Amino acid sequence: MNERRRALEILRRIERESAFASLLLTNDSGFVRTLVLGVLRWRSRLDFVIDSFAKSKIEPEIRDILRLGALQLLFMRVAPHAAVGETVALVPLRARGFVNAILRKISKGAPEPADVATRNAHPQWLIDRWTRVYGAERAAKIAAANQELSYPDAMTDSPPPAATRSELVPGMWKLTGSSADVEGFALDEGSGVIADIAAAAGNDVLDLAAAPGGKSLVMRVRGARVVSNDISIARLRPLIGKSSIVVSDGRQPPFARPFQVVLLDAPCSATGTIRKNPEIKWRLREDDLASFAALQKQLLVSALDLASETVVYSTCSLEPEENDAVVDDVLRTRTDFVRGDVAKLVNANVARWVENGVLRLTPEAGTDGFTAHILRKK
């Protein structure tokens, strides 16, 4: 199928079915991926440009086609005549003249948005909340970092062909292209940081929400004995034969003995992973944070019950409701645990991202964003 048409079809499905781009794009060419992820990454900025030229209401499919065209003209090195001509060919006849006229105008020059949210194509409410939590300067850096292309990182003994050494995680490499030919296993560098914190806390570890398993694998490389639990057997599949696997709801775990360390890398809003999953920023509602927090608290209570020394509580969310507030709330009744200091468990490069004992790794580090707390049994 025509690659632009395929990209359009995937964008329509993501919108209609709330599907995840990364799951739909498994067998597609680099060009289709770039188109789909680029439209999701730049959506509100593309709309800002489109709406500056189009004064009438635009139906959703035509808007997606205009976004594809504007993306090629503004953010990809596609020759303008090809970007316009090939994109207009996707348009139903009745709207061809309209789309053609707008794309030709965009090809001659587009306005620059003045505000941080539109310039970096984020919803205003996310910029507002990151400004409250991290300050205006860091909020703008987080948003800008989310707009950078990112590749998976890899844990491997032999240096991959196109890669630089991770400064945060020993033995990890930051790839500058696809991970297809890499030995070892792929995971985000930020995930490696979390695994190293848990492995530094002890070598008898329960990974309570472990799938798909990157952190379990890093902890094993560090010499820990790891039990990998998750509620989803399907998501645990990559760990089969590589770790001890248990399938259970972490709120009612079947374990008869405590573990020295419990890592709870909890299900969350994933606002730290927007650079890889740009659709999250358009789909998430501020109200959703409360429902994640409710599950996170239940899982954290369970993690405390299972730990004889240390709990590492991490999320790939940058939001305090899913991190600090969860820990504060649970510690109000669980006086058998106190907050520990992440800085004591990490190397100097990671320690730069620790504030008052809490890891706040944000995407301008060149990683996915992670927050991590340490809880110690009294």
Ligand X SMILES: C[S@@+](CC[C@H](N)C(=O)[O-])C[C@H]1O[C@@H](n2cnc3c(N)ncnc32)[C@H](O)[C@@H]1O
Per the CB < 8 A criterion, the answer to whether 302 and 365 are in contact is no
Whichever of 31 and 255 has its CB closer to ligand X, that residue is 255
Output the smallest distance, CB 154 to ligand X, in A: 14
Rounded CA gap, 116 and 135, in Å? 13
Question: Cα separation of 189 and 108, whole Å?
Answer: 40
Q: Which is nearer to ligand X, 47 or 188 (CB)?
A: 188
Is residue 316 part of the annotated active site? The answer reads yes
Binding residues vs ligand X (CB under 6 A): 191, 209-215, 230-232, 235, 249-251, 265, 267, 316
Q: Closest distance between ligand X and the C-beta of residue 238, in Å?
A: 8
Residue number, 311 or 316, with CB nearest to ligand X: 316
CA 145 to chain CA centroid, Å, is: 12
Give the nearest distance from C-beta 198 to ligand X in angstroms: 10
Among 166, 163, 161, smallest CA distance to 181 is for: 161
How far apart, in Å, are the Cα atoms of 127 and each of 270, 317, 325, 372?
15, 14, 20, 22
Rounded to whole angstroms, the Cα distance separating 68 from 354 reads: 40
Catalytic residue among 186, 316, 350, 365: 316
Residues 6 or more apart whose CB falls under 8 angstroms from that of 322 comprise 266, 268, 269, 289, 292, 293, 296, 315, 371
Instruction: Report the residue number, 337 or 370, with the smaller CB distance to ligand X.
Output: 370
- In the bound complex, what is the minimum distance in angstroms from residue 30's beta carbon to ligand X? 25
Q: Which residues are catalytic?
A: 316
